Structure 1
Amino acid sequence: MREVHMLAQIVITSDLRYFLTQYNAKRIRQGDKPLTLRQVARETGIALSTLTGLTTNRAQGIQFETLSTLCSYFNCLPSDILRYTPDEE
């Protein structure tokens, strides 16, 4: 009999909403206006629908180029805006 191994599902979700909230709190403390998704979209060239999908966790994935652009824009690491949750078996 052949053994079938089930691969654990990798669950990676976006923490962009939380990250942006923390980022804006820091901006406000420094006397700057908070960033809107529309402003981030305009300044990065990332579609507003893509950013909205990432902040609502409706996105099914993220392009490496998009991730790289966000990390460059916010001067952060991918782990600051993405969260890995191990599959519970």
Structure 2
Amino acid sequence: MAEKNINISQLSEVTGISRNTITNIYHEKNKRIDFNTIKTLCNFFNCTPNDLIIIDKQGKGA
């Protein structure tokens, strides 16, 4: 988000993703993320899902 100079509230407004959802993703509190949320974030940040999702080999995902 820093690269785009955007905060959670602005990202929520621009993407239509709830502020709660973005906050949970940002703070790694989600256990799962809806495919459409990933797609929307990838479109906004011009990236792939691999750029957004990091899988910890010890069972923790980001």
Same-fold call, TM cutoff 0.5 = yes
Q: Which runs of 4+ in 1 moved over 6 A?
A: none
Match of 1:83, SS state, is coil
Query: Unpaired segments of 5 or more residues in structure 2?
Result: none
TM-score by length of 1: 0.61
Give the aligned partner of residue 46 of structure 1. Answer: 17
User: In the TM superposition, what are the counterparts of 1:6-85 in structure 2 within 5 Å?
Assistant: 20-21=1-2, 23-24=3-4, 34-85=5-56
What TM-score, normalized by structure 2, do the two folds share?
A: 0.84
Q: How many equivalent residue pairs?
A: 59
Unaligned runs of 5+ in 1: 1-19, 25-33
Q: 1:59 deviation in Å?
A: 1.0
Structure with the largest fraction of strand: 1
How many percent identity over aligned positions? Answer: 29
The Cα RMSD (Å) is 1.5
**Higher-RCO chain (CA-CA 8 Å, sequence separation at least 6):** 1
- Deviation string, structure 1 residues 12-45 (Cα, Å, up to 9, x no partner): xxxxxxxx23x24xxxxxxxxx201111100000
